[in-house]
Amino acid sequence: MNEIKLDLRCVAMTKGGSRCKNSAVEESEYCYIHMPASARPAANGPSSPLKNDQPRTDRAMRAQLLAELDELIARVKAIDPDYSPPTFSAQGLVELVDNSSKKMPARIRLGIYDRLRSSINEDLLDAETWKGLWYMVNYTLEYQGDILKRRLKGDYETDEWGLDWEFVEAMRPFLDFMYKMYWRVETSGIEHIPDYERALLVCNHSGQLPWDGAMIMTAILNEHPAQRLVRNLYANWFSTLPFLSAILVKMGQALASVENGTRLLEQDELVGVFPEGYKGVGKLFKNRYRLARFGRGGFTKMAIRTGAPLIPVSVVGAEETYVSVANSSTLARLTGFPYFPISLRFPWFGLLGIVPYPTKWYIDFGEPIPVDEYDPEQADNLVLVSQLTDQVRNVVQDMVNDRLSNRRSVFY
């Protein structure tokens, strides 16, 4: 098997001298940030050749699909010119579909076969389109096999924090589903997130489990043109959970401490903090959206020492994903958890009780609060730290209240 390296990342170098981690814009070697200004698409650029008001005939659909396949094949050939798929044949296509779907439930397999059969009957796809599909499916399967072999051998890269970009890309389809389909997240104020510079996102905590941090990260990956990765700081307790801790590390998250946050900010990263801590995720349903105390101001010290602006972030919708009616101190001591919630479904329904409700979410990014006017030594000024901490908390609470006043329904 030829060595396949499907790398659609931006080819530019960052200011720190490392390879850019963003995905390249279609038909370009660069991401949106590094793309030359003259090559960036205009906000109101020319419309697609196939406009929404034009009839989507079978011929038009075939032509559009074939053009997109040709373009994708051209990009793959440019990356790996030595790759050559098996010779196309109808029998080979059927075998490929059959082998790829063997582990699926019978009902799903039958649906795949029916769609394939109907496509052939309706003459939706011509021979050239089938050849294009054959090429890309074979390449994708071979590429995924190559990734699996390399990972089993330990042949993959991580940064000093354990960030694994291949793992991030593997998780993105699931996170995108939760973001776009399950919770239907709407965002505002994404323009307040800088393209390159360091910044500290200060967020309200909610929802019993750290879904809010995952959705904030997904929001910026999906909505921000720089596709920046948020390095959330997670509480010590999560590091004791065997599966979750490994996932958090591979996703580029870091253990919550002033030292870790300061180092990340000094590396011009986008850092997310949840100053409410356990008090935030352990709130009862009756106390939802009432922000707890913002700790001792550790995040403010990080910002002052590094000059990173404080960006308030409010999340509305997460506090209804679990309806917690009580906390059991006895079960918390027995399990070693900082809190043990008793909800309408947990622990009565076992693991099904941790499935969140499909509420409607809103994530709002507020205007940055600059701190570069302060000397780094003032991070030890307890009065200043307390004032800034309270200021940020009040801003986040006001943002939450404003969103709640405009929300019509928890689910719609």
Residue 4 pLDDT level (bands cut at 50, 70, 90): very low
Instruction: Give CATH 3.40.1130.10 domain extents, the chain.
Output: 165-321+356-406
pLDDT at 6 over 50: no
User: Is there a contact between 198 and 231 (Cβ–Cβ < 8 Å)?
Assistant: no
- CATH number for the region 165-321+356-406 comes to 3.40.1130.10
Q: Say which residue, 234 or 11, is predicted with more confidence.
A: 234
Per-residue confidence (pLDDT) for residue 5, from 0 to 100: 42
What is the residue type of 202?
V
Strands, DSSP E only, in 256-349? 270-273, 310-316, 324-327, 341-343
Q: Say which residue, 395 or 135, is predicted with more confidence.
A: 395
* CA distance between the termini of the chain: 50
Alpha-carbon gap, residue 91 to 62, rounded angstroms: 22
User: Is there a contact between 190 and 221 (Cβ–Cβ < 8 Å)?
Assistant: no
Instruction: Give 355-372 pLDDT, tens digit per residue.
Output: 788 899 999 999 999 999
Which DSSP category does 327 fall into? E
Per-residue confidence (pLDDT) for residue 394, from 0 to 100: 95
Instruction: Give 233-249 pLDDT, tens digit per residue.
Output: 988 776 666 567 778 88
Which pair of structure tokens corresponds to residue 1?
Answer: 């098997």
Name the most confidently modeled range: 288-292, 340-344, 396-400: 396-400
- Between CA 377 and CA 33, with CA 192 as vertex, the angle to 5 degrees is 105
Per-residue confidence (pLDDT) for residue 167, from 0 to 100: 83
Over residues 267-293, the mean pLDDT reads 81
Question: For residue 307, is it left (φ>0), alpha (ψ between -120 and 50) or beta?
Answer: left
Over residues 313-329, the mean pLDDT reads 80
pLDDT at 269 over 50: yes
Percent of the chain with pLDDT over 90: 30
- Beta carbons within 8 Å of 277's beta carbon, 6+ residues apart: 205, 235, 292, 295
Per-residue confidence (pLDDT) for residue 397, from 0 to 100: 95
Helix axes 90-100, 106-121, angle to 10 degrees: 160
Over residues 305-332, the mean pLDDT reads 83
143 three-state secondary structure: helix
Which pair of structure tokens corresponds to residue 54?
Answer: 């034009």
Per-residue confidence (pLDDT) for residue 162, from 0 to 100: 85
Sheet with 199-203, side-by-side order of all strands = 186-188, 362-365, 310-316, 199-203, 270-273, 230-234, 254-255
Of 65-74, 201-210, 280-289, 352-361, which range is least confident? 65-74
Instruction: Give 378-410 pLDDT, tens digit per residue.
Output: 999 999 999 999 999 999 999 999 999 999 888
Per-residue confidence (pLDDT) for residue 107, from 0 to 100: 64
pLDDT at 272 over 90: yes
381 three-state secondary structure: coil
Of 1-15, 39-53, 203-217, 232-246, which range is least confident? 39-53
pLDDT at 196 over 50: yes
Which pair of structure tokens corresponds to residue 120?
Answer: 């052939």
Model-level pTM? 0.65
Of 60-69, 191-200, 264-273, 319-328, which range is least confident? 60-69
Write a three-state SS string for 31-71: CCCCCCHHHCCCCCCCCCCCCCCCCCCHHHHHHHHHHHHHH
Per-residue confidence (pLDDT) for residue 53, from 0 to 100: 43
Over residues 175-179, the mean pLDDT reads 91
